[in-house]
């Protein structure tokens, strides 16, 4: 069961978003960043910042507010670039694939879906923001697997190293961890290359 640890977070988010909405309603959708002609608005940033805080059980305060904003901007820039590559390769997912991934996400993060939805609503975060985030993760992972899985290789030394540190895991699990590590490196390199080639304009 997911319990949010402090009501002060929800209170702060309410005050934070209310100030933005009432001071100038246009600020909600002000263009903040342009990534290869794709827009990221201030509203997108606020939604992602609050989502990240909720998922990571972090209270937004004066000390971490700017860090949370910067992290949200970086995440959204990365997602824009990932979506470009996903669209280039015409990647798609089925409803069943999404449901399975979503269920695993909640389980791995010790979250209960209905409780999380209630917290999102309390903090004026659209559930579609979470769904878009998860869909993008699925599609990106599928793309990386399609491009690089056949290039991965597993050595006995790598497996022995993992098992020595995690004696309870099976040989197959160790092999999968080695492959995942290699795919993660490929993913990071691809994203880094795309960032180097991208046009990112901050408004």
pLDDT digits (tens, 9 = 90+) for 122-132: 999 999 999 99
Say whether pLDDT at 192 is over 80. yes
Whole-structure pTM value:
0.82
Counting residues of the chain whose pLDDT is more than 90, the rounded percentage is 80
Say whether pLDDT at 25 is over 70. no
Tokens 């909405």 — which residue? 21
Asked whether 42 and 32 are in contact (CB, 8 A), the reply is: yes
The dihedral over CA atoms of 37, 43, 46, 47, expressed in degrees to the nearest 10, equals -90
d(C-alpha 185, C-alpha 44), whole Å: 28
The arrangement of secondary structure in 7-202, i.e. its CATH architecture, is Orthogonal Bundle (1.10)
Predicted local confidence at residue 28, as pLDDT: 58
Say whether pLDDT at 157 is over 70. yes
Mean residue pLDDT of the chain comes to 86
Asked whether 126 and 120 are in contact (CB, 8 A), the reply is: yes
Any idea where the domains of the chain sit in the sequence?
A: 7-202
């Amino acid at each position: 069961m997911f319990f949010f640890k402090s009501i002060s977070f929800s209170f702060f988010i309410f005050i934070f978003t209310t100030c933005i909405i009432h001071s100038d309603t246009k600020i909600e959708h002000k263009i903040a960043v342009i990534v290869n002609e794709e827009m990221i608005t201030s509203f997108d940033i606020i939604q992602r910042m609050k989502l990240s805080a909720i998922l990571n059980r972090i209270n937004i305060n004066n000390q971490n507010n700017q860090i949370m904003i910067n992290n949200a901007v970086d995440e959204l820039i990365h997602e824009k670039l990932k979506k470009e590559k996903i669209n280039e390769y015409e990647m798609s997912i089925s409803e069943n694939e999404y449901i399975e991934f979503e269920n695993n996400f909640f389980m791995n993060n010790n979250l209960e879906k209905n409780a999380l939805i209630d917290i999102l609503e309390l903090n004026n975060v659209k559930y579609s923001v979470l769904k878009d985030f998860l869909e993008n993760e699925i599609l990106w992972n599928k793309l990386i697997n399609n491009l690089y899985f056949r290039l991965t290789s597993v050595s006995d030394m790598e497996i022995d190293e993992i098992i020595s540190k995690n004696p309870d895991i099976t040989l197959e699990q160790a092999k999968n961890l080695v492959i995942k590590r290699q795919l993660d490196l490929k993913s990071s390199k691809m994203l880094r290359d795309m960032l180097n080639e991208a046009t990112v304009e901050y408004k």
